Amino acid sequence: MDLLLHETWSALLKASLDNWIIIGSAITLGVVAIEAVWTLYSWNRLRHIGGPTLAAFSNLWIVRAMTGGKTDLVLAEVNEKYGSLVRVGPNELLTSDPTLLRRINGVRSRYKRSEWYLAMRFDPARDNVLSQRDDELHNVLRTKMSAGYSGKEVDALEYKVDRNIVALINLLGEKYVSTPGNPRPVDFGPMAQYFTLDVISDIAYSEPFGCLASDSDILGYIQAVNESIPMVMLFSAMPRLNWILQSAIMKRFLPSDRDQLGFGRLMKICKQKASERFGEDKQEKRDMLGSFVRHGLTQPEAQSETLLQIMAGSETTATAIRATLLHLTTAPSAYAKLVSEITAASKTVATPIPASAARSLPYLQAVIKEGLRIWPPLSGVLSKITPPEGDEFNGLHIPGGTVVGCSPFGLSRNKEVWGEDANVFRPERWLEGTTEELREKEAALDLTFGHGKWQCLGKNIAYMELNKIFFELLRNFDIQVASPTKVWDSTCVGIFLQKNFWLIFTRRD
């Protein structure tokens, strides 16, 4: 009897196992078939647009481009090879054409933000003005925040920038001035960010973080960015993985406001500063956070938006400062012309120079524009989705639902826009040509800060910082790179991580 039962159960188990194998095989074949059909369909709908072969069938090409440390160069090279509209994924295109980019980002554009923006949700539980993909909700947020970013409701905005300029000049003068026979090089990579972090926190909260005062990454923020941003950009390149960030298990490993340093510490500060502006004992200040609150941001929104403000405002402006200084100090003719203009102006303008006076100096403006042109501080693709009816570009149809991204370095190296010397740092290009030609260049440069309904809210503040810092640095110091054969370590994963940018500062008589 036992033998019979054993044989019966064995037969049933074998039959069950066989059935599961058959079912599993059928499911696997079905998934493979669906994937093959989808791949063929994706390849066919965009096969009229050139690009790397791998990109037509897989997202691995764009993942490698976004995480390999040379995103800026890889995206520029693919545009140079295949044209101003190129295929970089099964459903992804990349453009370096300013006309198409302005159309995509225009106020009345029917393009929508793609899933790329999900990775910009630095607080996984809440969208911010950068990650919000719903046009209506995005516009509501922008309206509430625009007055604060414009500076109209921030008391002593320029004074706050000025006092951090003075703090930077004093730090360099007291600790890092070189003299003949006694060089004292300073790594200006992190120092540029000490400055931008203190400026943006001063504008936001009415007091700087204190990076310049301590001459350190006092929050551990810069180190946290270097460690975590490459992963953020991986998720931006593969948005299907964003569910991982929302999972309960993953949240245990994400930054927390209980952390002592890094993103967690910054989150804690933003949470604390936001809470001070609400409740019975709320503080009312005429700073940027105060403006946000007066225009209707809730406490969680205020916390989320100031977190984004600190991160976005410090990273991109610091890159613009470093890159412009690098190109300027290695271009003797441009350097000499700017020093001459600054020396002449220094006889009559206050210290630090007022923003209005800086804007009247033609060569300084040309240097700032050329620095932003040749080295756009943000190289993320900021991709959008074509409307259902699709779009047309240079005789090519872009089907509805296609993701189209921007190639900032492709645009900055586009010879049809800038001429054959597009790869050369030459500020004079902003002082030459007809009024119409200069207007076209300005429009192309403006895309550095986005355009239309998605233009960067912090643009005016960034320009104020750039106008003042270059003038005051060169008013006080002569600057040279410490090692011409290895000027810095620069990694690009959508934003730039730059260190070992050793400069030598000597007093200017």
What DSSP string runs through 439-450? HHHHHHHHGGG-
The half-sphere exposure of 455 on its side-chain side, counting CA atoms within 13 A, is 17
Alpha helices in 46-86 (DSSP H): 60-67, 71-82
Q: Name the amino acid, one letter, at 471.
A: F
Q: Are 241 and 67 in contact (CB under 8 A)?
A: no
Q: CB atoms < 10 A from the CB of 76, how many?
A: 22
- What are the structure tokens assigned to 458, written together? 């912090």
Pairing label, strands 384-385, 403-406: antiparallel
For residues 257, 262, 263, 268, the Cα torsion angle rounded to the nearest 10 degrees is 30
β strands within 288-348, DSSP E? none
CA-based nearest residue to 92, from 414, 381, 495: 381
Q: CB atoms < 10 A from the CB of 276, how many?
A: 15
Cα angle at 322 between 316 and 326, to 5 degrees? 145
Maximal C-alpha separation, the chain: 111
CA-based nearest residue to 87, from 38, 43, 137: 43
Whole-angstrom distance, CA of residue 451 vs CA of residue 105: 6
Whole-angstrom distance, CA of residue 222 vs CA of residue 216: 10
- Residue 211 is labelled as binding a ligand: no
Q: Name the amino acid, one letter, at 71.
A: T
Whole-angstrom distance, CA of residue 161 vs CA of residue 190: 18
Q: Are 297 and 305 in contact (CB under 8 A)?
A: yes
Whole-angstrom distance, CA of residue 368 vs CA of residue 376: 11
Summarize the annotated binding site for heme as residue ranges: 456
Summarize the annotated binding site as residue ranges: 456
